[in-house]
């Protein structure tokens, strides 16, 4: 579906709204990345998010139309702070009482000053960067996703379980990438058995200038390249690696949720070749899109969506990819719950409190005034907000991530990470290095790799990092990460080889000893053989 159809859909929704008898018309804003091909978000994913908004409004609208009607206003926030700030200002001018979005952390940074000044609450469904929980800096911000500190722990747990000892950490130089990379680095920097090489990719990314970031890599059988990047950066990096012949053994890539959102469903020989080259890559992302199949109200949205065509409602939920409904990995359920949260709050204010909806009342409601004003079983699980930070409350539902393996064109979920543990027996039929093994890949080395291919065991396994001594990575010197390999020093007084000073001292001692012995021998020879007059004296001694 072309994006140009979306405004016409809004017109239809507005006509429906105007025909209903309701107590109040409530204006709700949306900050979304338009699927224009220039965004950091893949076009197919942006289309899917727009479809999810339409589905949510069309399912929830009739339920509450006797109490209120939602009038939607949509603006393009892209993944850019300046664009998002301008879009947020336009929404303020339309007198919206709340905003769904933005999706990207950079866009949140741009929209926040505008919405903060206007006192308008906004709920993001995909902005995961840490640092948004300040009630001073981000007092009107809420989100239905968990922060990157949780995802960083999930990624490090994969590194630990696979026993990777050399980590090349690629991250895009924007708020999402730097936040996630810092979380990963903070967890790994104190681990003295692993070498970490952070590699900063300037943003916006220049796809023609990425070769240098791969030039100095010397991968081993226990190394991995981690992509803490936006989807378009991951795409550019993978295409560069493919062109350089660095997508097969011994190269292996572990993508964060942004990289896993990179869309491999498409046409064209180039994409087909890249897809083939990336078979077997691994990643971490929201577990089944945070979709809870047995108890989730998402089933209602899913069933409605399933009756639509892919042309009218694009996205994995209507695309002929099997299994269809369990692969909505890109925070679709969190988007639906962000909209659902506003409907719950609107209803509480209008029906329970008997008042007209205003931004201040809405803000109080999200903060838990009255108690549990917004607390419901949503598409992504039970949802309520922390009253002081705006974060999703962990006492209502816990963070969970999926461990994914790329098979064909789909990221297949292999294991679930929840509360620091892998809690299910993963199907490891395709956890292996991409590409064929080299001809000399035999014997013990092959057994070693086979062991690495099955390191996620059955049952519950502690996924916390092994080392319990974590140093904080300095935040200054980010520019040095392109050339610096970071390795924790050997503890003083501990094991390890002798220092350079000790070696020099030992050599000096040996030289002195040789000199003394040599001189003594020379002196004895001269007294006893070259000067016989000294022999009687020597014998007397």
Rg (CA), the chain: 30
Q: Give the H or E element holding residue 325.
A: none
Instruction: Measure Cα distances from 374 to 300, 371, 389, 391 in Å.
Output: 20, 8, 15, 13
Residue 33 falls inside a structural domain: yes
Residue 90 falls inside a structural domain: yes
Q: Are residues 195 and 207 in the same domain?
A: yes
Instruction: Measure Cα distances from 216 to 16, 101, 220, 422, 482 in Å.
Output: 60, 39, 13, 34, 10
Residue 179: give its domain's CATH number: 3.40.50.2300
Q: Are residues 248 and 312 in the same domain?
A: no
Instruction: Check: CB of residue 390 under 8 Å from CB of residue 145.
Output: no
Q: Are residues 13 and 90 in the same domain?
A: yes
* Whether pLDDT at 517 is above 60: no
348-359: pLDDT as tens digits: 999 999 999 999
Q: Give the lowest-confidence range in 69-78, 81-90, 390-399.
A: 390-399
Banded model confidence at residue 265, pLDDT cuts 50, 70, 90: low
Burial class (CB in 10 A: 0-12, 13-18, 19+), 519: exposed
Residue 78 has what DSSP assignment? T
331-374: pLDDT as tens digits: 888 999 999 999 999 999 999 999 999 999 999 999 999 988 99
Residue 530 falls inside a structural domain: yes
Rounded to the nearest integer, the mean pLDDT of the chain is 76
Range of the domain at 516: 501-540
Q: Give the H or E element holding residue 47.
A: helix 43-64
If one counts the domains in the chain, the total is 3
Q: Are residues 166 and 136 in the same domain?
A: no
Instruction: Check: CB of residue 69 under 8 Å from CB of residue 26.
Output: yes
Give the torsion sign (CA, 294, 298, 302, 303): positive
Name every residue whose Cβ is closer than 8 Å to that of residue 134 and which is 6 or more positions away in sequence.
389
Instruction: Check: CB of residue 227 under 8 Å from CB of residue 195.
Output: no
Residue 272 falls inside a structural domain: yes
Q: Average pLDDT, stretch 157-183?
A: 92
Burial class (CB in 10 A: 0-12, 13-18, 19+), 54: buried
Q: How far apart are CA 32 and CA 338, in angstroms?
A: 13
* Whether pLDDT at 535 is above 60: no
Q: Are residues 160 and 121 in the same domain?
A: no
Does residue 294 or residue 256 have the better pLDDT? 256
SS3 of residue 32 by DSSP: strand
Q: Are residues 236 and 363 in the same domain?
A: no
272-304: pLDDT as tens digits: 788 888 888 889 988 765 555 555 677 888 889
Banded model confidence at residue 411, pLDDT cuts 50, 70, 90: confident
Q: Are residues 299 and 190 in the same domain?
A: no
Residue 489 falls inside a structural domain: no
Residue 406 falls inside a structural domain: yes
Q: Give the H or E element holding residue 247.
A: none
Which of 436, 453, 482 is where one domain is finished?
482
Q: Average pLDDT, stretch 494-508?
A: 48
Model confidence, pTM: 0.77
Name every residue whose Cβ is closer than 8 Å to that of residue 70 and which is 6 or more positions away in sequence.
17, 25, 26, 27, 28, 57, 60, 61, 64, 342, 343, 346
Q: Are residues 421 and 272 in the same domain?
A: yes
Closest CA to 186 of 436, 465, 536: 465
Q: Are residues 342 and 364 in the same domain?
A: yes
Q: What is the 3-state secondary structure (H, E, C) of 477-502?
A: CHHHHHCCCECCCCCCCCCCCCCHHH
What integer pLDDT is reported at residue 506 of this predicted model? Answer: 58
What integer pLDDT is reported at residue 403 of this predicted model? Answer: 85
What integer pLDDT is reported at residue 316 of this predicted model? Answer: 62
* Whether pLDDT at 136 is above 50: yes
Q: How far apart are CA 232 and CA 206, in angstroms?
A: 10
Q: Average pLDDT, stretch 504-520?
A: 57
Q: How far apart are CA 132 and CA 139, in angstroms?
A: 9
Q: How far apart are CA 233 and CA 261, in angstroms?
A: 11
Closest CA to 50 of 308, 259, 297: 308
List, in sequence order, every residue forming a beta bridge with 199; answer none if it has no partner. Answer: 170
Give the torsion sign (CA, 42, 44, 48, 50): positive
Residue 471 falls inside a structural domain: yes
Instruction: Measure Cα distances from 54 to 34, 217, 330, 408 in Å.
Output: 14, 45, 17, 30
Banded model confidence at residue 109, pLDDT cuts 50, 70, 90: very high
* Whether pLDDT at 392 is above 50: yes
Q: Are residues 343 and 262 in the same domain?
A: no
Both tokens assigned to 214: 């791969």
Name every residue whose Cβ is closer than 8 Å to that of residue 490 and which is 6 or more positions away in sequence.
192, 496
- CA 313 to chain CA centroid, Å, is 27
Residue 25 has what DSSP assignment? E
Q: Are residues 270 and 356 in the same domain?
A: no
Does residue 204 have a cis peptide bond before it, meaning omega lies within 30 degrees of 0?
yes
Does residue 370 have a cis peptide bond before it, meaning omega lies within 30 degrees of 0?
yes
Both tokens assigned to 232: 């378009």
Q: How far apart are CA 298 and CA 80, in angstroms?
A: 30
Q: How far apart are CA 444 and CA 18, in angstroms?
A: 73
Q: Are residues 478 and 535 in the same domain?
A: no
SS3 of residue 26 by DSSP: strand
Instruction: Check: CB of residue 60 under 8 Å from CB of residue 340.
Output: yes
Q: How far apart are CA 212 and CA 485, in angstroms?
A: 15
Q: Give the H or E element holding residue 141.
A: strand 141-143
What integer pLDDT is reported at residue 384 of this predicted model? Answer: 94
Residue 393 falls inside a structural domain: no
């Amino acid at each position: 579906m072309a994006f140009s159809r979306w405004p016409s859909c809004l017109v239809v929704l507005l006509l429906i709204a105007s025909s209903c008898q309701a107590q109040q018309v409530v204006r709700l804003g949306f900050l979304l990345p338009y699927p224009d091909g220039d965004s950091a978000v893949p076009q197919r994913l942006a289309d899917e998010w727009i479809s999810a908004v339409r589905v949510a409004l069309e399912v929830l609208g009739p339920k509450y139309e006797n109490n209120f009607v939602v009038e939607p206003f949509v603006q393009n926030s892209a993944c850019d702070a300046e664009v998002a700030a301008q879009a947020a200002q336009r929404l303020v001018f339309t007198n919206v009482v709340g905003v769904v979005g933005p999706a990207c952390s950079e866009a949140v940074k741009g929209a926040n000053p505008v919405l903060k000044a206007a006192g308008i609450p906004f709920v993001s469904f995909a902005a995961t960067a840490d640092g948004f929980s300040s009630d001073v800096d981000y007092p009107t911000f809420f989100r239905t996703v968990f922060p990157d500190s949780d995802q960083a722990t999930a990624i490090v747990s994969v590194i630990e379980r696979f026993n990777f000892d050399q980590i090349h950490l690629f991250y895009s130089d924007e708020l999402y990438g730097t936040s996630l990379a810092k979380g990963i680095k903070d967890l790994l920097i104190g681990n003295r058995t692993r070498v970490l090489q952070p590699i900063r990719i300037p943003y916006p990314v220049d796809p023609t200038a990425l070769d240098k970031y791969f030039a100095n890599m010397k991968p081993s059988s226990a190394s991995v390249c981690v992509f803490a990047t936006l989807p378009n950066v991951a795409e550019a990096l993978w295409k560069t690696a493919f062109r350089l012949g660095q997508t097969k053994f011994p190269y292996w890539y572990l993508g964060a949720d942004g990289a896993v959102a990179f869309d491999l469903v498409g046409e064209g020989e180039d994409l087909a070749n890249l897809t083939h080259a990336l078979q077997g890559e691994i990643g971490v992302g929201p577990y089944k899109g945070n979709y809870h199949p047995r108890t989730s109200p998402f089933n209602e949205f899913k069933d409605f969506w399933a009756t639509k065509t892919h042309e009218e409602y694009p996205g994995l939920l209507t695309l002929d990819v099997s299994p269809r409904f369990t692969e909505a990995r890109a925070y679709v359920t969190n988007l639906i719950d962000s909209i659902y949260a506003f409907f719950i709050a609107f209803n509480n204010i209008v029906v329970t409190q008997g008042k007209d909806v205003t931004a201040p009342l809405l803000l109080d409601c999200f903060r838990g005034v009255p108690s549990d004003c917004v607390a419901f079983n949503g598409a992504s699980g039970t949802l309520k907000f922390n009253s002081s930070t705006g974060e999703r409350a962990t006492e209502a539902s816990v963070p969970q991530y999926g461990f994914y393996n790329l098979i064909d064109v789909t990221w297949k979920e292999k294991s679930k990470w929840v509360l620091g543990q892998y809690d299910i027996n993963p199907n490891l039929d395709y956890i292996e290095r991409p590409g064929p093994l080299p001809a000399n890949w035999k014997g013990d080395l092959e057994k070693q790799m086979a062991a690495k291919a099955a390191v996620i065991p059955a049952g519950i396994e502690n996924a916390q990092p092994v080392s319990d001594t974590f140093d904080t990575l300095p935040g200054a010197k980010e520019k040095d990460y392109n050339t610096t390999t970071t390795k924790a020093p050997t503890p003083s007084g501990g094991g390890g080889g002798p220092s350079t000073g000790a070696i020099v001292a030992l050599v000096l001692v040996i030289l002195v000893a040789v000199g003394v012995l040599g001189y003594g021998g020379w002196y004895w020879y001269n007294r006893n053989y070259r000067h016989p007059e000294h022999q009687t004296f020597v014998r007397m001694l």
